[in-house]
Copies of this chain bind each other. A is one copy, B any other.
Amino acid sequence: MLYQRYRETRAYTESLCEPLEIEDYIPQAVEFASPPKWHLAHVTWFFEEMILRPHVPNYPVFDQDFAFLFNSYYHAMGPRALRAERGVITRPTVAQVYQYRAHVDEHMQRLLQSDASESVSSLVELGIQHEQQHQELLLTDLKYVLALNPTFPVYRSDFSLVSNHNQDNGWLEVAAGLYPIGYRGTGFCFDNELASHQVQLSDVQLSRALLSNGEYLAFIEDGGYRDFRHWLDEGWAWVQREEIEAPLYWQHIDGEWFYYTLGGLLPVDPKAILAHVSFYEANAFANWAGKRLPTEFEWEVAASQLDWGKRWEWSASAYLPYPGFTINEGAVGEYNGKFMVNQMVLRGASSATSPGHSRTTYRNFFHPPMQWQVSGIRLAASV
């Protein structure tokens, strides 16, 4: 059954690439967004390096160079390909990367059909979760690079990522009290969700609906991007330095707002849920509206009563270790802990998140100016 999940995850990654031309697999537009070819190979390298090499006797490594080219941030594994240069590595070809995937899949199949050890299973589960994370990044990174093309290429005309509407409205009240936070189940979770503990909340209410494009347009039209009073100091510097005037992918053309989507350039739908805002924008909007963002703890406590999963929701919480957080030994231990500074937590999941890859305890995190994830806004208010 684990093999079944492995196989489905691998197949889903490749299905995401079906609409691509070979050319689309190559470029890296910015340091934070990687090319599809790299994602395809990197998740495969994870299985080869973390599982097949240590656990399969005489495993024939597909190509020694790949460990160097498709490692990401795992310092413990030796020299990395410079992140900034991923887009200039034309060889191996895309075809060779698919061969690499097939080679690893074949050996994974043999291993999973013979080895039921707990240590292998938990690494395979981590590898599946890891590949699911890269499925989402593959989509958001691809959108970023296609959006730079003045011809607005269409990935799939039925696949915009940003068209969904709210199903719910009004406010949800959460009463003050001591609440448990963190993962307490028996299934998979990441290390940053562990160390379950109690957090004291004050009375708070959370919006049942996520913010819509129409509501955000009111902020734009009220001059929200031109009034420093709504903004954090660093947010205001960002707005001015980068000349930000709207969410990422929005364009003002002949007096109307359009946005680039994976389905092409479309008019902004005022009823659709807002996406592609930074933490700075989310925080500024909340200030302008006289509200605030929920903390990640308020969100987690309320989540079972919320309709979530369409947008990553910026929280008011910095990404920090839970009390009692510990880091695993070895390369796998580099997974989360070392990013716990200067990033803000996002909760929920988005329309780009792979099916099955979400939990109410899940902690996503990005730097405050990042807009390229399918990130939105849920308001809160102290009562």
CB distance from A75 to the nearest CB of B (A): 4
Give chain B residues whose Cβ lies under 8 Å from the Cβ of A149. Answer: 88-91
The verdict on A302 contacting chain B, using a C-beta distance below 8 Å, is no
User: SS class of chain A's interface: helix, strand, loop or mixed?
Assistant: mixed
Chain B nearest Cβ from A42, distance in angstroms:
16
A265 within 8 A of B: no
Please name the residue on chain B nearest to A82 by beta carbon: B148
A190 touches B (CB below 8 Å): no
Residue A29, interface by CB 8 Å:
yes
Supply 13 further A-B pairs (C-beta < 8 A) apart from A85-B148, A233-B339: A21-B90, A21-B93, A23-B26, A23-B91, A23-B94, A24-B90, A27-B88, A199-B200, A202-B324, A233-B338, A316-B320, A316-B321, A324-B382
Q: Could you list some 14 contacts between A and B, CB below 8 A?
A: A23-B90, A24-B90, A65-B151, A76-B229, A87-B88, A88-B149, A91-B149, A200-B200, A233-B338, A234-B341, A280-B341, A283-B341, A295-B323, A318-B318
List the interface of chain A (C-beta within 8 A of B).
21-27, 29, 37, 65, 68-69, 73, 75-76, 81, 85, 87-94, 145-146, 148-151, 153, 178, 197-202, 204, 228-229, 231-236, 279-280, 283, 292, 295, 316-318, 320-321, 323-324, 338-342, 344, 368, 382
